[in-house]
Chain A
Amino acid sequence: MNLLRLLMFLLLIQGASAQISSWVDPSGYESYEDAKIVYVTVFQFGYHVDAVQKNNIQIIYPSDSTSSTIHIPQGERVVFRVKTIDVTHAFYIFHYMPYPEEKLVLAYPGVVAETEKIVFDTVGKFKIRDPIVCDALNPFDYADIIVEPNLPLFISIALTIPISALAVVFARMGKEREIDLLKLPLVGRLLKSLTSRISVFSLQWVNLVIFMFIIITGFFGNPNGGENFSIIVVWVLWFALVEYSIFFSARAWCTMCPMPLFGEWIARRGILKINRKFFSLNRPWPKSFDNMWGPAIGFLILSLFIVWIVTRPVVTAILFLALILIAIFCHLYNPLRYFCRSLCPASGYIGYHSNASIFTVGVKDPKICLRHRHKDCINGNKNGYGCPWTLYPGMKSENTYCGQCFECTRSCPVGNVTLKLRNITKVLSDLSRKAVKANGYDEAWMGFIRFSLAIFYELVFFSAWGLKYWGDMHRNYGANLFSIGTLMPSPTDLADWFKWALLVSAISLFVFPAIFYFGAYVAKRLSGLKIPTSKVFLAMSYSLAPFGLFIWMSFALSLILVNWTKILNVLTDPFGLGWDLFGTGKRLLKPFLPAELLYLQIPFILVGLFLGVSATYLIAKQLTKSERDALKLSFPVSCIHLLSSIVAIWVVVG
Chain B
Amino acid sequence: MGEKLAIFITLLGVSLTLSSVFLVDSKIFDGKFYNGAIVIRGYIAEHGGFEPKIVRVSVGCHEIVFIPLDISQGLAIDAINFDTGVVLPGEAKRFEICFNESGVYTFRNSVPSGPMTPFQIGYLVVEDVP
Q: Which residues of A contact B (CB under 8 A)?
A: 86-88, 106, 108-110, 132-135, 198, 201, 205, 208-209, 212-213, 216, 219-224, 227, 265, 270-273, 476-478, 480, 482-483, 486, 569, 573, 575-578, 586
Q: Closest CB-CB distance, A638 to chain B, in whole Å? A: 48
Chain B residues in 8 Å Cβ range of A578? 41, 67, 69, 90, 92
Chain A residues in 8 Å Cβ range of B129? none
Chain B residue, CB-CB nearest to A135: B71
Are A132 and B89 neighbours in the complex by a CB distance under 8 Å? yes
Between-chain CB contacts (< 8 Å), 12 pairs: A87-B114, A135-B70, A209-B16, A212-B18, A224-B47, A224-B70, A478-B47, A573-B90, A575-B23, A577-B24, A578-B92, A586-B91
Q: Which of B21, B24, B67, B111 lies at the interface centre, i.e. has the most chain A CB atoms within 10 A of its CB? A: B24
Q: How far is B12's CA from A205's CA once the two chains are assembled, in angstroms?
A: 11
Q: Which residues of B contact A (CB under 8 A)?
A: 1-3, 6-7, 9-10, 13-14, 16-18, 20-21, 23-26, 41, 43-44, 46-48, 67, 69-72, 86, 88-92, 111-114
Chain A residues in 8 Å Cβ range of B111? 87-88, 108-109
Q: Closest CB-CB distance, A269 to chain B, in whole Å? A: 10
Chain B residues in 8 Å Cβ range of A222? 69-70
Are A220 and B24 neighbours in the complex by a CB distance under 8 Å? yes
Are A272 and B47 neighbours in the complex by a CB distance under 8 Å? no
Chain B residues in 8 Å Cβ range of A482? 47-48
Chain A residues in 8 Å Cβ range of B25? 220
Q: Closest CB-CB distance, B18 to chain A, in whole Å? A: 6
Chain A residue, CB-CB nearest to B39: A578
Chain B residue, CB-CB nearest to A579: B23
Contact of A106 among B9, B41, B86 (CB under 8 A): B86
Q: Closest CB-CB distance, B33 to chain A, in whole Å? A: 21
The answer to whether A223 and B70 touch (CB under 8 A), given A198-B1, A216-B18, A477-B46, is yes
Are B71 and A133 neighbours in the complex by a CB distance under 8 Å? yes
Q: How far is B21's CA from A213's CA once the two chains are assembled, in angstroms?
A: 9
Are A271 and B47 neighbours in the complex by a CB distance under 8 Å? no
Q: How far is B93's CA from A578's CA once the two chains are assembled, in angstroms?
A: 11
Q: Closest CB-CB distance, A223 to chain B, in whole Å? A: 5
Contact of A212 among B17, B41, B48, B112 (CB under 8 A): B17
Chain A residues in 8 Å Cβ range of B9? 205
Are A220 and B71 neighbours in the complex by a CB distance under 8 Å? no
Q: Closest CB-CB distance, B49 to chain A, in whole Å? A: 10
Are B10 and A208 neighbours in the complex by a CB distance under 8 Å? yes
Chain B residues in 8 Å Cβ range of A486? 46-47
Chain A residues in 8 Å Cβ range of B24? 220-221, 575, 577
Q: Closest CB-CB distance, B40 to chain A, in whole Å? A: 10
Q: Closest CB-CB distance, A109 to chain B, in whole Å? A: 4
Which 9 residue pairs spanning A and B have beta carbons closest together?
A88-B72, A578-B67, A212-B17, A586-B90, A271-B6, A109-B112, A133-B89, A209-B13, A224-B70
The answer to whether A134 and B71 touch (CB under 8 A), given A223-B47, A272-B1, A483-B46, is yes
Q: Which of B21, B91, B92 lies at the interface centre, i.e. has the most chain A CB atoms within 10 A of its CB? A: B21
Are B113 and A87 neighbours in the complex by a CB distance under 8 Å? yes
Q: How far is B41's CA from A224's CA once the two chains are assembled, in angstroms?
A: 14
Contact of A87 among B1, B17, B72 (CB under 8 A): B72
Chain B residues in 8 Å Cβ range of A476? 46, 114
Q: Closest CB-CB distance, A140 to chain B, in whole Å? A: 15
Q: How far is B47's CA from A223's CA once the two chains are assembled, in angstroms?
A: 7
Q: How far is B4's CA from A177's CA once the two chains are assembled, in angstroms?
A: 44
Q: How far is B6's CA from A272's CA once the two chains are assembled, in angstroms?
A: 7
Q: How far is B111's CA from A271's CA once the two chains are assembled, in angstroms?
A: 54
Chain B residue, CB-CB nearest to A224: B70
Q: How far is B70's CA from A478's CA once the two chains are assembled, in angstroms?
A: 9
Question: A213-B17, A271-B7 provided; 15 other pairs, C-beta below 8 A?
Answer: A87-B113, A108-B86, A132-B88, A209-B13, A220-B21, A220-B24, A270-B7, A271-B10, A272-B2, A272-B6, A477-B44, A483-B47, A486-B47, A575-B24, A578-B67
Q: Closest CB-CB distance, B112 to chain A, in whole Å? A: 4
Chain B residues in 8 Å Cβ range of A586? 90-91
Contact of A205 among B10, B26, B46, B88 (CB under 8 A): B10
Chain A residues in 8 Å Cβ range of B92? 578
Contact of A216 among B17, B112, B114 (CB under 8 A): B17
Chain A residues in 8 Å Cβ range of B86? 88, 106, 108
Q: How far is B2's CA from A265's CA once the two chains are assembled, in angstroms?
A: 15
Chain B residues in 8 Å Cβ range of A577? 24, 26, 41, 69
Q: Which of B14, B71, B72, B111 lies at the interface centre, i.e. has the most chain A CB atoms within 10 A of its CB? A: B71
Chain B residue, CB-CB nearest to A578: B67
Q: How far is B5's CA from A205's CA once the two chains are assembled, in angstroms?
A: 13
Are A133 and B70 neighbours in the complex by a CB distance under 8 Å? yes
Q: How far is B13's CA from A478's CA once the two chains are assembled, in angstroms?
A: 29
Are A213 and B72 neighbours in the complex by a CB distance under 8 Å? no
